[in-house]
Amino acid sequence: MTANKTVTELRHTTNARLTDEGIAAVDDILAGQLDVTPAQITPEAVIDADLGADSLDKVEIVMRLEERFGVSITDDTAETVRTVEDLYEALAKTLGR
């Protein structure tokens, strides 16, 4: 990856399975739930260590994603999520993309 890529290009390089709208929705949910800036939400950001999520935040994030996308994310899938990229991938998998 080159330093000249924009954040959107970087996100699409690391995860081409979610649409721009899907990535933006995930980022909005994270920013709103965790009170972080969009700049802090990067694919490699660790949701608890870097973004400050506790276990309740994680449950609420999953619930908001389920509501927003009309899906059910299994506990097993949710437990595999460590980074923002993991969250993008778990949602894409759940959506069947």
Nearest to 70 by CA among 25, 33, 16, 35: 25
Tokens of 56: 């309740």
Q: Are 36 and 52 in contact (CB under 8 A)?
A: yes
> Is residue 54 among the annotated active site residues?
yes
Given the residues 54, 57, 75, 76, the one annotated as active site: 54
Fill in the DSSP letter of residue 18. S
Query: Active-site residue numbers?
Result: 54
